[in-house]
């Protein structure tokens, strides 16, 4: 399943050259990932209420094109891998007006309890596991 997230670029996210600073893309990916989880009934507030955190293990970004203030980006996010303990998300960020690919990325995460010890959602929270398996 691919989830589509749209976002308008704010002025404060640009650098002296008027281009979105590369570090902001990590935030955009997180926004898209959070909205995907919201859409399947797994908002972060509920995850935290159940004692589940999803720390980032790694980020890989390939910058293809720049965007500037007032541009609208479309982030297509999908789950690439899921084991119950680890999850890998992939992203394709596109400039809406031109259709040009701006960024290709992947983020890797694991599920942990409040003590930051890895957990297996298949056992820890079977309902969340079912929702995530449907994304594959």
Catalytic residues: 15
In the chain, the largest separation of any two C-alpha atoms, in whole Å, equals: 50
Give the SS3 label for residue 135: coil
Cα–Cα distances (Å) from 52 to 6, 90, 119, in that order, read: 27, 21, 8
User: What is the full DSSP assignment across 78-113?
Assistant: EEEEE-SSEEEEEEEEEETTT--EEEEEEEEEE-B-
């Amino acid at each position: 399943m691919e989830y589509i997230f749209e976002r308008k670029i704010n002025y404060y996210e640009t650098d002296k050259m008027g281009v979105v600073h590369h570090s902001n893309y990590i935030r955009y990916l997180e926004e898209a990932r959070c909205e995907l989880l919201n859409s399947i009934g797994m908002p972060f507030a509920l995850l935290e209420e159940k004692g589940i955190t999803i720390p980032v293990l790694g980020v890989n970004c390939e910058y293809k094109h720049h965007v500037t203030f007032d541009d609208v980006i479309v982030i297509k996010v999908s789950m690439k891998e899921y084991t119950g303990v680890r999850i890998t998300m992939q992203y394709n960020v596109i400039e809406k007006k031109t259709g040009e690919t701006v960024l290709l990325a992947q983020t890797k995460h694991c599920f942990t309890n409040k003590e930051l010890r890895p957990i297996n959602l298949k056992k820890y929270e079977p309902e969340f596991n079912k929702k995530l398996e449907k994304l594959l």
